[in-house]
Amino acid sequence: MKKRKAAFFAVLLLVILFAVPVMADSMSDILPGAGAARNVFTERDLTQLLELAKQQSPEVPEAGSPEEQGTDAAEEGGQPEQEQQETVKEETVQAEEENTQQEETREEEPVTQAQPVTVTGGSRIVCIDAGHQLHQNSGQEPNGPGSSVMKMKVTSGTRGVSSGVPEYQLTLDVALKLQSVLQARGYTVVMCRTTNDVNISNAERATIANNAGAGAFIRIHADGANSASAAGASTLAPSGTNPYCPQIASASQSLARCVVNGLCAKTGAKNRGVTITDTMTGLNWSQVPVTIVEMGFMTNPTEDMAMQDPSYQQKLAEGMADGIDAYFGN
């Protein structure tokens, strides 16, 4: 069908190229200025027709920026994603929202797309943790059950470079919206916090999700980087060789994949994919499928201001909920 259309436009072009100049020449004998009209026609309308013919032809590939191509490739989980993650590693300084001093473990992304997991009764419970809190807690806690590595209980998080809004406020704003969206879709929602002035460590937040028997634990954060141009959303999940919670690695990676894809599809944000890490206290203490969502960069002026827009926050919440739906196989 497309080939026939392309052929039709080719013939149409030929007719126009030959017939119109002849007609215009004849017209110019009768009407003054018809010759000039011919020139206008050939310069403007032929260009449009050529464009139209190009759009109809399947042989002409769509031009895309390297950035777009990288994102598309990342969706397939191939080699470009690995390269993309290397970039994340260089740019991201606040993805380590728990401010670990350790080098983050990053593994190659599984090549398969996330599949909905089979879940049983009570699984439609989602625990939401709005990352950080009004005051950081510099007390220490083990990085995982039985770990001798100690980390800060709650760090201060990042802050909007243009808005000046602290991360803990943004994460709460979006967490409350996500709560409403999920409840409207029939989920039972457990919130780690609904106000800023709390004191709940990362391990304690994971314990809340564990005790709730959550089918998914969504930890909401925002990113920061040295470069103001770093942009896009990513999610984090533990590896299959995590020493504390290897049993939830596969489901968590699936959840992470679904959520970042849902978020980016809804908001149009750049998809930075899933980062595998075993250094996050709030992941390591979790016994239920968990992901950290880095919604965007507060160090990017454009993304920072977008994330302060209530309608964009709503899209973030709906996109995450779409991902949660996909994870549960709805």
Binding site residues, Zn ion, CB under 5 A: 97, 131, 157, 221
Separation of first and last alpha carbons in the chain? 36
Q: Nearest approach, Cβ of 9 to Zn ion (angstroms)?
A: 53
Buried b (16+ CB within 10 A) or exposed e, 112-129: eebeebeeeeebbbbbbb
- Torsion, CA 223, CA 206, CA 218, CA 235, rounded to 10: 40
Quick one: 109 or 223, whose CB is closer to Zn ion?
223
Quick one: 38 or 193, whose CB is closer to Zn ion?
193
The residue among 101, 21, 5 whose CA lies nearest residue 58 is: 5
Q: Nearest approach, Cβ of 166 to Zn ion (angstroms)?
A: 10
Q: Nearest approach, Cβ of 132 to Zn ion (angstroms)?
A: 6
The residue among 74, 98, 101, 99 whose CA lies nearest residue 87 is: 74
* d(C-alpha 41, C-alpha 36), whole Å: 9
Quick one: 157 or 323, whose CB is closer to Zn ion?
157
| 90: exposed, middle or buried (Cβ count in 10 Å: 0-12, 13-18, 19+) | exposed
Quick one: 97 or 173, whose CB is closer to Zn ion?
97
Point out which residues pair with 292 in neighbouring strands: 219, 236
**Closest residue to bound Zn ion by CB:** 97
Quick one: 215 or 232, whose CB is closer to Zn ion?
232
Q: Nearest approach, Cβ of 150 to Zn ion (angstroms)?
A: 19
Quick one: 209 or 326, whose CB is closer to Zn ion?
209
* Contact of 289 with 252, CB cutoff 8 Å: yes
* Contact of 199 with 266, CB cutoff 8 Å: no
Residues contacting residue 121 through CB under 8 Å, at least 6 positions apart: none
Q: Nearest approach, Cβ of 217 to Zn ion (angstroms)?
A: 15
Beta strands 188-191 and 125-130: pairing type? parallel
Quick one: 187 or 217, whose CB is closer to Zn ion?
217
Q: Nearest approach, Cβ of 287 to Zn ion (angstroms)?
A: 22
Q: Nearest approach, Cβ of 237 to Zn ion (angstroms)?
A: 16
Tally of residues, the chain? 330
